[in-house]
Structure 1
Amino acid sequence: MESSFHRFSELFAQLGLANDAASIASFVRRHSPLPAGTLLHEAPFWTPAQAALLREELQEDADWAEVVDQLNAALRANAG
């Protein structure tokens, strides 16, 4: 089985978001921190399609799951 490595910027592109470093940093600042009880895909700022992509990638432990986990951690990093 061949595993793929996806970059953070590629996940943002996959989500239909600007994926340059400044835009990613701005997105994370604007939406952090996620409340402790909120699952990443349940955050109110996702479109239904974005939420579905995030949920499915994690549920299937797909190629994108690792970078989705990184996004989840980044959006929680400023908590507390």
Structure 2
Amino acid sequence: MLGEPDYTMNDLFAQLGLDSSDEAIDNFIENNKLAKQEALIDSNIWSDNQRMFLQEEWRKDAAWVEVIDELNVRLHPDA
């Protein structure tokens, strides 16, 4: 039986409809740092559809959770 796929940050950005090149991801993260208390899904950097995807995948504890968590950590450098 095959396990769930291991998604990458590039896969997540493509899924969100964003430029998924390494450089674009680094630029996005650098330009969208979140305050320590700001929740990833509450940020105004997301469209409604992007926010819904992130919330739903996080809530389901789906295959995307690991990479969503990584994005959350990278966007909260001071946490």
Structures share a fold, TM > 0.5?
yes
Shift of 1:25: 0.5
- Distance, in Å, in 1 between the alignment partners of 2:22 and 2:4 is 25
Aligned to 1:70: 70
Q: Give the aligned residue type for 2:48.
A: P
Aligned to 2:32: 31
Q: Per-residue CA shift, 1:3-57, capped at 9, x if unaligned? A: 210011000000000000110000000001x112221111011000000111111
| 1:45 partnered with 2:45 | yes
Structure 1: gaps of 5 or more residues: none
- Distance, in Å, in 1 between the alignment partners of 2:28 and 2:37 is 20
Q: Percent identity?
A: 33
TM value normalised by structure 2: 0.92
Q: Give the aligned residue type for 2:74.
A: A
User: How many residues end up aligned between the 2 structures?
Assistant: 78
Structure 2: gaps of 5 or more residues: none
Aligned to 2:22: 21
RMSD, aligned CA: 1.3
Aligned to 2:9: 8
- Distance, in Å, in 2 between the alignment partners of 1:56 and 1:40 is 13
- Distance, in Å, in 2 between the alignment partners of 1:67 and 1:14 is 12
Stretch deviating more after TM superposition (65-74 or 1-10)? 1-10
- Distance, in Å, in 2 between the alignment partners of 1:69 and 1:8 is 10
Runs of 4+ with deviation above 2 angstroms: none
Q: Per-residue CA shift, 1:46-73, capped at 9, x if unaligned? A: 0000001111111100000100000000
